[in-house]
Amino acid sequence: MTITHPPTPGTALWVYAHPRRGSLNDRLFREGTAALSTRYEVLTSDLYARGFDPVLGARDLGDLAEEPVNIPELVGERYTRGELPADVREEQAKLAAAELLVVQFPLWWYGPPAILKGWFDRVLTSGFAYGDIDPELGVPRRYGDGGLVGRRALVVVTAGEDARSIGPRGISGDLESLLFPLTHGVLWYVGIETLDLHVVHDADALGAAGVDQEVERLRKRLRTVDTEPARRFRRLRDGDYRETRALRADLLPERIDLGIHLAPPDWS
């Protein structure tokens, strides 16, 4: 069974995770969605404002809660039956419609806020975002394939540190590596290509002029988001991870960094 959900051209979903009104993130969200709406129908998921429950629990599992099967399979069964909670079904419908996904959040403890992680936990269910097998290759349709293939994502993140301290040699680690679980382990896993990160550094120290500058920089980025090249990773279906799911020994044998999972320049 193929579970791909073709997106609706001209539709975007902006998922926003910040609790404070009047903050830098709030202004980026309001100004960003307004700018994007000149070219897209923009759907929004303001997770804190709507009180989204991030905890995957009994209501997601329903009558299957006590079954001795792993939780992703149980939630997938509930999706197939059409029995997922209404808030999850609403988010899945918005995501299924969107050809562009914008995910915006502040960097907390070197990752997204828990409410956003919970959104992924509850919304990207088996049966909806992944779970079937490529009929020709016999491999799972994951990592560059899956239910949400054909979409692109822009990750907008604010960080309280400068580009050096959260860069390749910084004490906080490289931001690209810190967010690899999101860009590769979540989005690419279900077939969503990512654009280069949009990072606001020193977010806690920006004055009024700095905030204005960052708002304009985001507006400018959104004006060309349609034509940006995606930053693609290697696809599982191409055989680079044959048998062991580790990158083949003949590919970049001298390296062990996360960059080995980026697709080569001639990938198509």
pLDDT of 111 over the 60 cut:
yes
Q: What is the pLDDT of residues 172-183, one digit of tens each?
A: 889 999 999 999
Q: What is the mean pLDDT of residues 178-196?
A: 96
Determine, yes or no, domain membership for 5: no
Residues 28-43 pLDDT 10s: 999 999 999 999 999 9
* 8 Å CB contact between 40 and 183: no
Average pLDDT over residues 153-160: 95
Q: Is 194 domain-assigned?
A: yes
In a domain, 214, yes or no: yes
- Calculate mean pLDDT across residues 234-249: 88
Q: Is residue 256 part of a domain?
A: no
Is it the case that residue 158 has pLDDT exceeding 80? Answer: yes
pLDDT at residue 2 in the model:
55
Q: What integer is the mean pLDDT of 148-161?
A: 94
Domain annotation covers residue 117: yes
Residue at 88 is within a domain: yes
The CATH number linked to 75 is: 3.40.50.360
Kindly state whether residue 188 falls inside one of the protein's structural domains: yes
The domain of 222 spans 11-238
Q: How many domains does the chain have?
A: 1
Q: Is the pLDDT of residue 3 over 80?
A: no
pLDDT band at residue 267 under the 50/70/90 scheme:
low
Q: Give the mean model confidence (pLDDT) for residues 234-246.
A: 87
